[in-house]
Chain A
Amino acid sequence: MSAKTLFDKIWDRHVIKDLGDGFSLIFVDRHMVNDMAGRGFLTLNKRGLPVAHPEFTFAAADHTVATLEARKASAKPDDNPYAVNLRDNSRQHGFRLFDLDDPDFGIIHVISAEQALALPGTTIACGDSHTCTLGALGAIAWGLGQSDIVHILATQTSVQRKPLNMRINVTGRLAPDVSAKDLILALAAELGVAGCVGHAVEFAGDAIRRMSMDERFTICNMAVEMGARFGLISPDDVTFDYLRGRPSAPDADAWDAAVADWRSLATDATAAFDAERTLDASRVEPQVSWGINPGQTIGISATIPSLSGQLTGSALATYETAVDYSGLVPGAPIAGTPIDIVFIGSCNNARLSDLRVAARVVEGRRVASGVRAWVSPGSERVRREAEAEGLDQIFMSAGFGWGHSGCSMCAGAGDQMREIGASGQRIASTTNRNFVGRQGPGTRTHLLSPAMAAAAAIAGRIVDVRSLEAIGG
Chain B
Amino acid sequence: MSSAESRYMETLKAKTEKLLKEVQELQKALGMEQKDLPEETMNRLGEEELTTLEHAYALRVDGHFDLRISEDEMACIGDFYPPSPGGEPLSLEKVQERLQALGVVYGVNWEILGSALFTCNLERQEVLDLFIARGTDPVPEVPEHYQLEEGIQNCKPTLDSDAQRVDFRSVSPFIIVKKGDRLARKVPRRSGVLGRTIRGKDLPFPIERVTFLVPGKNTEEREDGIYAFCDGALKIQENRIQVEPILYITGNVDYHTGNIEFPGDLVVEGAFLDGFQVKVRGSILCKGTIYAANVFCGGNLQVYGGIIGKGKSKVIAEGEVQVKFLENCYLESKGTIYSEAGAFHSVVYTKAEFRTGKKGLVVGGKITAQEGIYIANIGTATSPKTELILGNDFQIQRKLEWIRDKNIDLALRMKEVSQALSRDPDNSELMQTKDALLSHIRQLNEVSQKLIHFLTVREQARLCVQGTVVPGTYVEICNVSYIVPRLMRSVSFYLNRKMGRVEVEPYRVS
- Answer yes or no: are A and B bound together in one complex: no
By a beta-carbon cutoff of 8 Å, the part of chain B in contact with chain A is none
By a beta-carbon cutoff of 8 Å, the part of chain A in contact with chain B is none
